[in-house]
Amino acid sequence: MLPKVNSVLYLQVNSIDEDEAKQEYKARIADVNANYISMEVPIHTSTGKLKRLYAGDQISAYFVTDGGVKNYFNSVILGFKEEVLRLVLLKPPEPGQITQVQRRNFLRVPAELELAVKLSEQMQFLATTEDVGGGGVSFYCDGRIPLAKHDSLNSWLLTPYKNGQVEHANFTGEVVRTKPLETGKQIVMMSFTDIQDVERQKIIRYCFERQLDFRKR
């Protein structure tokens, strides 16, 4: 499913500049065909300033369909088209390259990522994830760390992307369950309780890239 004409596309530009990569823009879709998706010049969702794009820029984008379903995909700027307004041309994603995310039904993928966790001012530690998703993560940590169901954890997840860019997604999560392991470690299941959409999108983008890798195997 591709976005419809006059729908709104939300996007972020993949950049080695961490601040720039966090910025979200939106644009109205002008045309959709087999060769390209054209959109108006994007504007910043908060400031309303126009965003200048260049051919070859890689973007992460999503559009919303009925029921509030967010449809995520990655694309590249193909060029521009001068009509009454200047239009930006995007490479359309293949049907299998669009990830649909419904509330409480987020894609989850196995991944060994570094997670920094803060339980209190006196208790901070590093962990390694078992899997990650838009709704939460599971991670391994020392079994001696006193974690219990409903504990609130402030966390930073290191998310590397295929283009070499690395992000840190910040969120607060709640411990759902813990399980001791014979190795002396424990596995902790955590769901997000407070996460900004821009932070969640960092994780979903990582999951999307991982999912494409699995499909190629």
Burial of 160 (0-12, 13-18, 19+ CB in 10 A): middle
Residue whose structure tokens are 């939106």: 26
Tell me the per-residue pLDDT of 27-63, one tens digit each, with 9 for 90 and over: 999 999 999 999 999 999 989 999 999 999 999 898 9
Q: What is the DSSP secondary structure assignment for residue 84, as one 8-state letter?
A: S
Average pLDDT of the chain? 88
Tell me the per-residue pLDDT of 191-213, one tens digit each, with 9 for 90 and over: 999 988 788 888 988 888 887 76
CATH of domain 8-101: 2.30.110.10
* Domains of the chain, residue spans: 8-101, 108-216
Residue 216 has pLDDT above 60, yes or no: no
Domain spanning 108-216: CATH 2.40.10.220: yes
Helix (H) / strand (E) containing 21 = helix 18-22
Structure tokens at 81: 């088209």
CA-CA-CA-CA torsion sign (98, 101, 102, 106) = positive
Mean pLDDT of 91-110: 75
